[in-house]
Amino acid sequence: MNFLDVEGDFIRGKVLPDFQWTSFAEPTEPALLKKPVNKCKIALVVTAGAYLSGTQQRFETRAPLGDDSYRIIPGDTPAEQISLSHPGYDTKRALTDLDTVFPIQLLMRMQENGTIGAVAPRHASFMGYIPRTERLLWNNAPQVARMLRDDGVDLVILVPS
């Protein structure tokens, strides 16, 4: 039995008897970069449950249907101002090396040494446990995509947690 079967059985048994993984008949068309990575503005979209300590609300970790909201993290936020709330992994351990789930410090170093063009002014954080994906797919994700496009982002790195 694989992880998807185990996780799906857990969700069906504890939360949603009719749960089915969201899937699509056709893969997304690849989008080729129009310039070299060292000229690209790069943003992060993470499922780590990252939020700004003291100024943003934590993600809801006890809701049976998860939390499909998102938080915007400014690109110049110091790592010590970022907290994590997620029911699926040890957030205290991840905070000892934030780059494992929100690699903003790595992106900053890559910008400094010229490996990438620029760190985007804003990044997006979701919580990874969202068994009902309709609102995420049709409302929240498009909002984030528009924001990143408005910021002139060339490349988005999806960091699953």
For 78-89, what is each residue's pLDDT tens digit?
A: 999 999 999 888
The two three-digit tokens of residue 92, written as one number: 């205290």
- Check whether 55 has a pLDDT greater than 90: yes
**pLDDT one-digit tens code per residue, 110-149:** 999 999 999 999 999 999 888 889 999 999 999 999 999 9
pTM summary value = 0.91
What gap in Å lies between CA 79 and CA 24, rounded to an integer?
36
pLDDT for position 20: 84
pLDDT for position 126: 97
**pLDDT one-digit tens code per residue, 5-45:** 777 777 787 777 887 888 889 998 988 999 999 999 999 99
